[in-house]
């Protein structure tokens, strides 16, 4: 049984210049010890990149559950995908994998002291709403990471110095949200068996 983490550098576990740590993977694996956890996060990736590699990397391993977590780069000024294309890419990813396996995450909040110019909050919020809307349309769970980060008083502690990538505290927060969502999905699937 396999859980796939599919996304960008935050998924990959980018910590202090290292692009592929076990920061997120180990937290998910600890909570779901009966599953293999495969991290397919690529630093710098967008939903377009995810769409291009979904069949080869995700569908081919026939996972039981997949977290889809793109957005931090889709909203970036130098890579910006339009909101419509972002949503189309996510929908194509979901359709490739199968909606019964997918949990979507909205893109994260970024510290606006560092990123007001290249990742403006208005765009982050707009794209997060697109993910929630897609989840509603397809009847799949969405973890509203942007909203939950914004609501947390300690949000600045969630970041490394760059104001984008997650700190250990940030990964604790992120993993908790993901674990709760997957526990609910597994429970719902058992009810339908």
Q: Identify the helix (H) or strand (E) that includes residue 68.
A: strand 65-69
Interval 70-107: pLDDT, tens: 999 999 998 878 999 999 999 999 999 999 999 999 99
Using a pLDDT cut of 90, give the percent of the chain over it.
88
Rounded Cα gap, residues 160 and 18, in angstroms = 12
Which among 89, 93, 104 is positioned nearest to 48, based on CA atoms? Answer: 89
For 64, the token pair is 């039981």
Q: Is the distance from CB of 103 to CB of 140 less than 8 angstroms?
A: yes
Rounded Cα gap, residues 125 and 176, in angstroms = 21
Distance of CA 20 to the CA centre of its chain: 15
Q: Look up the pTM and report it.
A: 0.95
Q: Domains along the chain?
A: 2-191 (3.40.50.1110)
């Amino acid at each position: 049984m396999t859980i796939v983490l599919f996304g960008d550098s935050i998924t990959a576990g980018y910590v202090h210049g290292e692009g592929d740590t076990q920061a997120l993977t180990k937290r998910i694996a600890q909570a779901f010890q009966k599953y293999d956890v495969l991290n397919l996060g690529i630093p710098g990736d967008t939903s377009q990149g995810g769409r291009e590699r979904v069949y080869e990397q995700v569908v081919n391993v026939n996972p039981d559950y997949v977290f889809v977590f793109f957005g931090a780069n889709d909203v970036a000024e130098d890579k910006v995908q339009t909101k419509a294309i972002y949503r189309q890419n996510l929908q194509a990813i979901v359709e490739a994998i199968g909606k019964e396996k997918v949990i979507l995450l909205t893109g994260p909040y970024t510290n606006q002291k560092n990123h007001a110019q290249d990742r403006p909050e208005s765009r982050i919020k707009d794209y997060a709403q697109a993910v929630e809307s897609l989840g509603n349309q397809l009847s799949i769970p969405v973890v509203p990471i942007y909203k939950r980060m914004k609501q947390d008083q300690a949000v600045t502690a969630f970041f490394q110095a760059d104001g984008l990538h997650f700190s250990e505290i940030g990964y604790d927060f992120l993993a908790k949200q993901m674990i709760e969502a997957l526990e609910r999905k597994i429970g719902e699937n058992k009810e339908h068996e």
